[in-house]
Amino acid sequence: MPSNSRGARGRPASADAGHGKTRRAIVKLLKSDGPLNSARLARRLDLTTMAVRQHLYALEREKLVTSEERPVPLGRPAKYWRLTRDADRLFPDAYAELSVALLGAMGDAFGAGGVQRVLDSRLARQQAEYTARIPAASSLEAKLRELARIRTEEGYMADVRRDGDSYLFIEKHCPICAAANACQGFCATELDLFRAVLGRNVRVERIEHILAGEARCVYRVSSSRRPE
């Protein structure tokens, strides 16, 4: 069998695709019906309870589902599964369309200058919030790790990696991608935001960009004090 026909851990790619389809079905049921136990999910999906549990444990490792125990008339409490907030990203977001429409309306009503004032106001608010959480006296690495925590909370799935004398600040998801596509000013203000909260002696350069068709946004961050 060709090497590209096998998925993770040597499984056939068709098996991975099947698992993905089943897990999407589980997520959809939990979204539409609310918390369910594995037996109820198994009946709805025409699978064994054990198979459903394995899929649920995989979704739990991805932090897409969580469980709680509920009492039953006889026997041990039953485990009911529900979606986490992280699972919201798996569903269409009507706010994206609304954000784009609002940006267009602001441009029509107030012109480019009005839209820029809104972006500046958003930048000032974010800078105040981030600065309150990122101590100015911290090391660059500590600042970046706290920034990654903040951005992950906001849906950017951020991470920090060391790369020689610099760091890579990686964002694997863009929760405002639709708005950023409609108004490039969002991306410009993000660079300004990072530079402001990381300090005057820090250089921030975007080297990968989701809006340019790449899979993620990546920023190279380094101290500007080091020799050129």
Superfamily designation of domain 94-223: Trafficking protein particle complex subunit 3 (3.30.1380.20)
| Amino acid 1: pLDDT | 36
Residues of the chain with CATH 1.10.10.10: 3-90
Of 127, 172, 124, 164, give the one whose Cα is nearest residue 148: 172
| Amino acid 210: pLDDT | 85
| Amino acid 227: pLDDT | 43
As assigned by CATH, the class of the 3-90 domain is mainly alpha
Residues lower than pLDDT 50 in the chain: 1-5, 7-8, 11-14, 226-228
| Amino acid 5: pLDDT | 46
| Amino acid 179: pLDDT | 67
Q: What is residue 47's DSSP assignment?
A: -
| Amino acid 18: pLDDT | 64
Distance CA(147)–CA(154), nearest Å, equals 11
Residues of the chain with CATH 3.30.1380.20: 94-223
Distance CA(81)–CA(125), nearest Å, equals 37
Of 157, 36, 155, 22, give the one whose Cα is nearest residue 85: 155
Specify whether the CB–CB gap between 142 and 197 falls below 8 A.
no
